[in-house]
Structure 1
Amino acid sequence: MCCARSTLLVSTELSLVVFEDTKARFVKGWISRLRRLSEGVGNALRNDPNYQALCDISETMRCSNVFTSRFGKGLGIVGPLVGEDSPLYQSNGVYGMFMYSAFVFFSLFPYRVFAKICVFMGIAANIVSAYLAYILFFVIEDICVVCISTYAIGFFLLIASIKNLSAINTLKAETSLNFSSYLDGKGTPGKKRV
């Protein structure tokens, strides 16, 4: 029974690693696409005033309005705080790129501390997304398909991070129980106690 349990734990660990690798590649691909889209639209709008972005669907659904607004860089608060000539005053896509890259990096390792960092980043990302959604709908009064997609990705990353932390906690608890019963002398793997 112990050997079967050990095999199950190893199998569960391998499943987590394979799941994490697949999830990381999927998330990394979408993050890269969204970042390139947002950066590309922003750069094209700055360099060519006649540029028409693909995400400009109608007069009320225009990514261009959002990317060129004062809230499109530095979340609308970095510029007034540190100045527009500061290296911290970047496009929101740059902040997102760093945050998503950190998500991918930390989710590659099945350690509780990294899973907790991902949950914390997910909470922070959703707070920032709520702020930006408020700006989008009530200040700029526009609908940005790319922006809403990033809000949804942030929400799903938070859910995935919570599930990942839960799975790691469960796995650690099972591994710890199995190991502690071995240390207590209540059994050795593969042998029945008389």
Structure 2
Amino acid sequence: MSDIHKISILSTYLATLCALGLGLSIYSYYVEIRLEIEDDFTAMCDINEHMSCSKVFKSPYAKGFGFFPEDSIFYVPNSMFGIPFYCLIMFLAFSPSLTIAKFVLTSTLLSNCLTPYLAYLLYFVLQDVCVVCVTIYIVNALSLFVSYKKVMLLTSPAEKAEKPKKKRN
């Protein structure tokens, strides 16, 4: 299989992961809004008292990642960060540019930086398992892996040739 074909497949995987992340972010936003409006709303992701996205979306960490004060412009539902992020990465996924692929790799790396913090809050502080949240963590991790593989394939042959090769005996 040629590198061009592999890059095309990786780009499709990345776009698919971003579509899933976008869908999850939109759903998260929808649930948060419904929870603010309706006291008796039950989300599809509320499985039991220890597996409830509603519990997480009602927590103080559901807006501004728990970092920003209420008067900050960043004090918005966390999903509002995911929606433009996944749209941007999905838009850039099919670019053949190494520079853009490196930007996507850096962006996906940064998106994964909050995962340990959010997973800690989810499991140890809120003592909950949010199916939507965990799925987003997986989407972000897979996006990072796919982005890395794409950058490696796009790396120019000259750069690959500069790496010392082992001599055969």
- Give TM class, smaller chain: 0.7 to 0.9
Note the C-alpha offset of 1:16: 5.0
Structure 1 stretch displaced more, 51-60 or 106-115 = 106-115
Q: 1:107-122, aligned counterparts within 5 Å?
A: 107-122=93-108
Note the C-alpha offset of 1:12: 4.0
RCO higher in 1 or 2 (8 Å CA, sep ≥ 6)?
2
Distance 1:176 1:163 in 2: 14
Does residue 151 of the first structure (1) align with residue 137 of the second (2)? yes
Is the CA contact 1:74–1:91 (under 8 Å) kept in the aligned structure 2? yes
- Give the RMSD, CA atoms, in angstroms: 2.2
Aligned partner of 1:165 among 151, 157, 169? 151
Instruction: Flag structure 2 segments of 5+ consecutive residues without an equivalent.
Output: 162-169
Does residue 77 of the first structure (1) align with residue 78 of the second (2)? no
Distance 1:39 1:63 in 2: 11
Q: Alpha-carbon deviations, 1:107-161, whole Å to 9, x = none?
A: 2212121111122122211111111001111111111000000000000000001
Distance 1:60 1:31 in 2: 23
Task: Give me the TM-score of the superposition, normalised by structure 1.
Answer: 0.75
Q: Percent identity?
A: 30
SS at 1:99's partner residue? helix
SS at 2:73's partner residue? coil
Aligned partner of 2:83 among 97, 105, 121? 97
Task: Give me the TM-score of the superposition, normalised by structure 2.
Answer: 0.85
**Which residue number corresponds to residue 185 of structure 1?**
none
Distance 2:153 2:8 in 1: 14
**Which residue number corresponds to residue 115 of structure 2?**
129
Q: 1:31-110, aligned counterparts within 5 Å?
A: 31-79=21-69, 84-110=70-96
Is the CA contact 1:136–1:142 (under 8 Å) kept in the aligned structure 2? yes
Is the CA contact 1:106–1:117 (under 8 Å) kept in the aligned structure 2? no
**Which residue number corresponds to residue 186 of structure 1?**
none
Does residue 30 of the first structure (1) align with residue 30 of the second (2)? no
